[in-house]
């Protein structure tokens, strides 16, 4: 018995979301008196420093937040806070080490938080710090990126959202390009309306300056501005002069970079095959946007191009068996075909890609450039579904002869698989975001590969070493090949580059020698940039290659990437930045977030540091037990610690208090971090909505029903009020199933099953299990838990649930199955419908089902039956959620597990 049970909760982004949606007091007690963004681009390498100076105008201490958005492609390289004359610098550490420091802070009960979230182009950096009454704080964040040339231009994107009008607001951009700047344009929503007057552009031959100094009143008057000031982007686009077809070489302090983008060669006719997924999941807008994009792409083909169209679901269909010339008649016929593409069955990626390869292989390829473009929005579910097998089939069929580009539509795709498959075949994978402009994204991608100028490009640097990638399959008009490296002998006078490639029907060679000692190369204040550029490019490429490597080679490359990340203090997927704050060593961690969905670099084998939701229930001072509920949720809310006074009650009562604390309003009133309401965004970060498909068995019918439930949501899966039983599950976005399922039974039983571990407590017995162990069993007090290797049987009272642990493409998730519904128990929750029936009623055109005396439109779809380890794909009648549940989804969402 514990008589002094201190209950300590270190919480929980999730609960906080509900907290912040409560009433927020309006106070203007934070003054951002200066906000500068200073971006220097030297030879495409952009270093941006954001400096925000903030005063606490309140006569008491309060938490002040700093939140900015930075491009996904960039690496954070510095973060600093200056408070009362003292400087606090973030330090980049290996991920595991940073994690340790973070955990230590958590176990000491200090609040630890972190910084991340993902948008389409930008990432969120967010932190906060306590600032004394009437004091000031300076935040300074630096990030670096190599601007990539696309469609003939570089783009520098600067987001400005200071959260209030700022008296002294400045954006300064300085671009220095040795070959000369050919054009420069300032776009973005901050360049429109009254704000346009705040922009000045100054150009010299090799330099350009853009300043943006909006006055306070201008900051409230633009289209996207309001009482919280500006919120928008400045997009600076430019290109450089290309007088030398051999490219531009710059040398500085033992490093060089070679930019190669010749324009003196004709376009090469191309053979392009589009492989279009028209499986059921593409239905609706996706299919429509795909048709639209294809129609435009077809119009853009050149007459000497050859093209093929393949559509696939569980079957592969051809417009024509052969590649045909893009003549007017052929295009016209192809367009009619495209207009008729409709969505239907499952997804046989293997057969479709192999058919595309064969089509190209049958066609004479001499003097042309062949390209295979796969567009899909799902996993392989039909034909060959083993991803390894598909990859090896495709690799063997293509045999390095041409690239495969994979476009993953939306978040249901296994983007990891697409990335690997395209990298293995010298292409790239691109995500097409499900949005109103998806057709433009598709077309934009095509435009990038529309004009091949060179194939089989090899770049050679006799005096160079530690080179980044030097061999490229294709070079497209509007892009640029960048190679960087170290110079072997720094004392040599000259440096030679050689490029050999195949142009239209002939071999071409570009050879160049430059004077390595050209003093005008690099401005002195920026002399380290080239070394950093080299490191940036090397780390990016090493991380990218990780997916292709195995064993020792993979380890070695990972080690190298880590070494460079640490040396140059880049926050990459292998490192984290630890920010120690003034309050008694309070620690926060900044990580390179990974994109939502199942996409991830294998490089991130180190456990992802954060955000952790840590539920720390200290049963007494000595026995400090911690249940780590690990999550990769995108909600990034600082962790907060709060202590309730010790309670002198029985263990059982403790849990009810635990519940009360969660439910009470008081908890949210004492949240100290949010005392600065004027500066916070209370809405949760935008999360792409994605759904999980549930199978509803129907007795006496061959086809079950199925329905989709949008995730991420915390869902009430099963509840029996009479026996005080409930089971709730939480999904992550873009993932199948659940990553965490919680069981509550009677007053005091709490079982939390997550993909990482299983923890059970009932006030007396506390137990932890791990997946993948030998059979373990625990029987107590009406509860029986049996943990098998990848399955767990839970019995609580007369309710039995099986939790299966599935692994798909390396990502683990959970799925609950109920094989027997107890009699005479009225169960609720998404899985609560033990029996349901339907009748088919044939309308004139569409099929309808009569369920619970109501008619519902339906279509024949497929569902993966995760109630079985083999995950068979079954046909089902897809109906709206409401048809089965007779209620709205909101009735099944819970705010906490």
Ligand X SMILES: *[C@@H]1O[C@H](CO)[C@@H](O)[C@H](O)[C@H]1NC(C)=O
8 Å CB contact between 459 and 258: yes
Query: Given the complex with ligand X, which of 152 and 710 has the nearer CB atom?
Result: 152
| Interface with ligand X, residue 524, by CB under 6 A | no
CA distances, 269 to each of 302, 486, 888 (Å): 8, 37, 55
| Interface with ligand X, residue 363, by CB under 6 A | no
Query: Given the complex with ligand X, which of 22 and 266 has the nearer CB atom?
Result: 266
| Closest separation in Å from C-beta 225 to ligand X | 22
Cα four-point dihedral sign 628, 629, 632, 638: negative
Which one of the spans 25-33, 501-509, 627-635, 733-741 is the region binding ligand X (CB under 6 A)?
A: 501-509
Token pair, residue 226, equals 């309001």
| Closest separation in Å from C-beta 37 to ligand X | 9
| Closest separation in Å from C-beta 264 to ligand X | 9
| Closest separation in Å from C-beta 479 to ligand X | 10
| Interface with ligand X, residue 266, by CB under 6 A | yes
CA distances, 454 to each of 26, 96, 242 (Å): 60, 43, 17
Query: Given the complex with ligand X, which of 436 and 507 has the nearer CB atom?
Result: 507
| Closest separation in Å from C-beta 296 to ligand X | 18
Query: Given the complex with ligand X, which of 300 and 621 has the nearer CB atom?
Result: 300
Q: Which of 172, 384, 659, 781 binds ligand X (CB under 6 A)?
A: 172
Alpha helices, DSSP H, located in 549-642: 551-567
Residues 42 to 61 in contact with ligand X, rule: CB under 6 A? 59-60
Among candidate residues 523, 442, 148, 163, the one with its CA nearest the CA of residue 277: 442
**Separation CA 699–CA 676 (nearest Å):** 56
Query: Given the complex with ligand X, which of 40 and 641 has the nearer CB atom?
Result: 40
Query: Given the complex with ligand X, which of 366 and 669 has the nearer CB atom?
Result: 366
Query: Given the complex with ligand X, which of 47 and 688 has the nearer CB atom?
Result: 47
Query: Given the complex with ligand X, which of 134 and 623 has the nearer CB atom?
Result: 134
What value, to the nearest 5°, has the Cα angle with vertex 678 and ends 676 and 680?
75
| Interface with ligand X, residue 525, by CB under 6 A | yes
Among candidate residues 148, 116, 124, the one with its CA nearest the CA of residue 46: 148
Which one of the spans 32-40, 62-70, 389-397, 545-553 is the region binding ligand X (CB under 6 A)?
A: 32-40
Total residues contacting ligand X by CB under 6 A comes to 17
Say how many C-beta atoms besides its own lie within 10 A of residue 691's C-beta: 15
**Separation CA 277–CA 801 (nearest Å):** 37
Residues 52 to 111 in contact with ligand X, rule: CB under 6 A? 59-60
Among candidate residues 98, 102, 118, 122, the one with its CA nearest the CA of residue 110: 102
Question: Distance of alpha carbon 857 from its chain centroid, rounded?
Answer: 35
Query: Given the complex with ligand X, which of 51 and 790 has the nearer CB atom?
Result: 51
Residue 121 burial by Cβ neighbours in a 10 Å radius (0-12, 13-18, 19+) = middle
| Closest separation in Å from C-beta 64 to ligand X | 18
8 Å CB contact between 642 and 36: no
8 Å CB contact between 392 and 377: no
8 Å CB contact between 25 and 658: no
**Separation CA 473–CA 261 (nearest Å):** 14
Q: What is residue 813's three-state secondary structure?
A: strand
Token pair, residue 251, equals 């040398």
Residue 337 burial by Cβ neighbours in a 10 Å radius (0-12, 13-18, 19+) = middle
Query: Given the complex with ligand X, which of 29 and 798 has the nearer CB atom?
Result: 29
Which one of the spans 94-102, 195-203, 407-415, 505-513 is the region binding ligand X (CB under 6 A)?
A: 505-513
Q: Which of 2, 13, 40, 287 binds ligand X (CB under 6 A)?
A: 40
| Interface with ligand X, residue 296, by CB under 6 A | no
Binding mask 460-499 toward ligand X (x if CB under 6 A, else -) reads -----------------xx---------------------
| Interface with ligand X, residue 506, by CB under 6 A | yes
- The dihedrals phi and psi of 841, each to the nearest 5 degrees, come to -125, 120
| Interface with ligand X, residue 444, by CB under 6 A | no
| Closest separation in Å from C-beta 152 to ligand X | 4
| Closest separation in Å from C-beta 59 to ligand X | 4
8 Å CB contact between 87 and 138: no
Which residues face 643 on adjacent strands?
8
Query: Given the complex with ligand X, which of 58 and 652 has the nearer CB atom?
Result: 58
Q: Which of 9, 32, 198, 451 binds ligand X (CB under 6 A)?
A: 451
8 Å CB contact between 508 and 500: yes
Q: Which of 17, 31, 36, 560 binds ligand X (CB under 6 A)?
A: 36
Query: Given the complex with ligand X, which of 170 and 896 has the nearer CB atom?
Result: 170
Residues 628 to 657 in contact with ligand X, rule: CB under 6 A? none
Chain residues binding ligand X by CB under 6 A are 36, 38, 40, 59-60, 152, 170, 172, 266-267, 451, 477-478, 505-507, 525
């Amino acid at each position: 018995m514990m008589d002094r049970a201190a209950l300590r909760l270190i919480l929980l982004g999730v609960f906080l979301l509900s907290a912040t949606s409560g009433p927020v007091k309006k106070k203007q007690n934070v003054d951002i008196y200066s906000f500068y963004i200073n971006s220097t681009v030297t030879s495409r390498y952009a270093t941006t420093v954001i400096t925000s100076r903030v005063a606490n105008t309140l006569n008491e201490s309060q938490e002040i937040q700093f939140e900015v958005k930075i491009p996904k492609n960039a690496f954070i390289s510095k973060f600093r806070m200056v408070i009362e004359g003292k400087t606090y610098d973030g330090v980049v550490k290996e991920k595991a080490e940073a994690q340790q420091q973070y955990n230590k802070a958590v176990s000491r009960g200090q609040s630890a938080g972190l910084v991340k979230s993902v948008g389409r182009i930008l990432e969120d950096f967010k932190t906060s710090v306590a600032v004394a009454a009437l004091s000031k704080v300076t935040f300074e964040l630096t990030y670096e990126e190599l601007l990539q040339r696309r469609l003939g231009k570089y783009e520098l994107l600067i987001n400005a959202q200071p959260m209030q009008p700022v008296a002294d607001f400045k954006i300064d951009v300085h671009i220095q390009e040795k070959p000369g700047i050919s054009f420069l344009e300032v776009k973005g929503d901050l360049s429109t309306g009254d704000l346009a007057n705040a922009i000045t552009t100054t150009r010299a031959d090799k330099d350009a300056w853009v300043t943006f100094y909006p006055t306070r009143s201008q900051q409230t008057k633009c289209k996207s501005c309001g009482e919280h000031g500006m919120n928008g982007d400045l997009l600076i686009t430019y290109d450089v002069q290309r007088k030398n077809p051999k490219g531009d070489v710059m040398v500085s302090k033992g490093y060089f970079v070679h930019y190669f983008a010749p324009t003196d060669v004709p376009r090469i006719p191309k053979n392009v095959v589009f492989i279009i997924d028209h499986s059921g999941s593409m239905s609706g807008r996706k299919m429509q946007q795909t048709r639209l994009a294809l129609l435009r792409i077809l119009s853009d083909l050149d007459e000497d191009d050859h093209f093929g169209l393949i559509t696939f679901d569980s079957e592969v269909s051809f417009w024509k068996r052969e590649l045909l010339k893009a003549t007017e008649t052929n295009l016209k016929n192809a367009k009619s075909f495209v207009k008729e593409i409709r969505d239907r069955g499952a997804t046989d990626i293997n057969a479709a890609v192999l058919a595309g390869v064969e089509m190209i292989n049958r066609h004479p390829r001499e003097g042309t450039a062949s390209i295979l473009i796969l567009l899909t929005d799902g996993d392989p579910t039909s034909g060959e579904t083993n991803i390894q097998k598909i990859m090896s089939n495709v690799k063997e069929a293509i045999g390095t002869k041409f690239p495969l580009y994979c476009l993953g539509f939306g978040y249901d795709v296994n983007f990891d698989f697409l990335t690997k498959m395209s990298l293995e075949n010298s292409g790239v994978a691109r995500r097409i975001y499900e949005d109103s402009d998806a057709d433009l994204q598709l077309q934009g991608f095509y435009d990038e590969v529309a004009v091949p100028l060179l194939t089989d490009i090899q770049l050679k640097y006799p005096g160079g070493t530690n080179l980044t990638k030097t061999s490229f399959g294709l070079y497209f008009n509007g892009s640029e090949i960048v190679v960087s490296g170290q110079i072997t002998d720094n004392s040599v006078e000259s440096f030679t580059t050689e490029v050999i490639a195949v142009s239209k029907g002939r071999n071409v060679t570009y050879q160049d020698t430059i004077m390595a000692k050209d003093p005008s190369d690099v401005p002195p204040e920026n002399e380290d940039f080239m070394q950093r550029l080299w490191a940036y490019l090397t780390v990016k490429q090493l991380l990218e290659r990780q997916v292709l490597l195995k064993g020792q080679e993979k380890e070695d490359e990972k080690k190298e990437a880590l070494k460079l990340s640490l040396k140059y203090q880049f926050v990459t997927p292998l490192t984290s930045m630890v920010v120690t704050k003034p309050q008694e060593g309070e620690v926060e961690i900044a990580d390179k977030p990974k994109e939502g969905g199942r996409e991830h670099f294998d490089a991130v084998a180190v456990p992802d540091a954060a955000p952790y939701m840590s539920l720390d229930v200290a049963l007494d001072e000595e026995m400090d037990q911690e249940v780590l509920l690990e999550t990769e949720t995108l909600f990034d809310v600082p962790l907060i610690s709060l202590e309730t006074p010790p309670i002198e009650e029985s263990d059982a009562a403790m849990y009810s208090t635990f519940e009360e604390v969660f439910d009470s309003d008081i908890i949210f009133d004492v949240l100290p971090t949010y005392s600065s309401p004027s500066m916070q965004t209370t809405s949760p970060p935008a999360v792409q909505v994605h759904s999980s498909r549930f199978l509803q068995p129907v007795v006496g019918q061959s086809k079950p029903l199925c329905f989709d439930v949008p995730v991420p949501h915390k869902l009430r899966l099963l509840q029996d009020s009479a026996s005080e039983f409930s089971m709730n599950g939480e999904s992550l976005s873009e993932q199948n199933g659940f990553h965490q399922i919680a069981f509550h039974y009677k007053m005091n039983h709490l079982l939390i099953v997550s993909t990482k571990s299983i923890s059970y407590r009932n006030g007396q017995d506390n137990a932890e299990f791990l997946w993948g162990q030998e059979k373990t069993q625990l029987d107590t007090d009406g509860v029986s838990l049996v943990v098998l290797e990848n399955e767990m049987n839970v019995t609580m009272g007369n309710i039995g649930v099986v939790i299966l642990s599935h692994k798909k493409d390396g990502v683990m998730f959970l799925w609950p199955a109920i094989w027997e519904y107890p009699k005479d128990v009225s169960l609720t929750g998404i899985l609560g419908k033990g029996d349901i029936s339907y009748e088919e009623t044939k309308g004139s055109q569409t099929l309808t089902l009569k369920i619970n005396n109501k008619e519902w439109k339906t279509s024949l779809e497929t569902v993966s039956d995760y109630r079985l380890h083999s995950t068979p794909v079954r046909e089902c009648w897809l109906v709206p959620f409401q048809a089965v549940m007779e209620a709205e989804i909101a009735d099944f969402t819970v705010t906490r597990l």
